Amino acid sequence: MNELINYLNYIAAIGAPVCIYDDEGCDAFYYGLILCASEEYISSYHISPDGRFDGIGARLTDEIAGINLDPAYAAKYIEKMEKITPRGEYEMLKDVIDPREQVKSILKIALRDHTAVTLRFLGEDLEFADGYVTSIDGDTATLRCVDEFGYEKVDETFSISDVAEIECMSLSLRTLDKLWKINYRR
């Protein structure tokens, strides 16, 4: 595991794009840049297949199956993506994630910018949730849950250490932001 963490942090330091797989037997991956990695989480800057910024996220490191699993394909894909991908948002975000508190760092960004997040929890009744962070207090935070149509449902308080994955500022969450603002005239 330490070898993977060292490699990921090296990739982050040089700003090299990667294809990140979360299932070894699958051809699917997400493309982006590593922001930081620790024994617990890996944070990354996501890029959509058409080269647009697709948010940032953190997920459990042990859920990563590999990086650039098909090196020949990855090299071609990375070359293609480098041609169509601006790096403006990356430059603004590359140093804002604390490697020791990756999930909390992203929650703070979402709270500050009032942007929606998607959370995936470990072993909870509320397995996935979309919404807005309304407060952070130590290891707990509160999320105002929002449905897919941008309407508020309930507030859920959760332990930050129970978060398995977080996404913020993705294309789908930006759609949710638009709907929420229209629904509540904000």
What is the residue-wise DSSP string for the chain?
-HHHHHHHHHHHHHT-EEEEES-TT-S--EEEEEEEE-SSEEEEEEE-TTS-EEEEEEEEGGG--EESSSHHHHHHHHHHHHHH---HHHHHHTT-S-TTSHHHHHHHHHHHHT--EEEEESS-S--EEEEEEEEEETTEEEEEEE-TTS-EEEEEEEEGGGEEEEEES-HHHHHHHHHHHHHHT-
Examine the domain organization and report whether 125 and 33 are in the same domain: no
Examine the domain organization and report whether 110 and 88 are in the same domain: no
- Contact by Cβ (8 Å): 35, 92: no
Examine the domain organization and report whether 64 and 117 are in the same domain: no
Q: List, run by run, the mean pLDDT of 10-residue segments along the chain (186 residues).
A: 89 92 76 94 95 94 87 92 81 83 97 96 79 98 97 96 96 96 88
- Domain encompassing residue 141: 101-186
What are the tens digits of pLDDT across the range 154-170?
999 999 999 999 999 99
Examine the domain organization and report whether 51 and 4 are in the same domain: yes
pTM for the predicted model, two decimal places = 0.91
At 105, which CATH number? 2.30.30.100
The number of domains in the chain is: 2
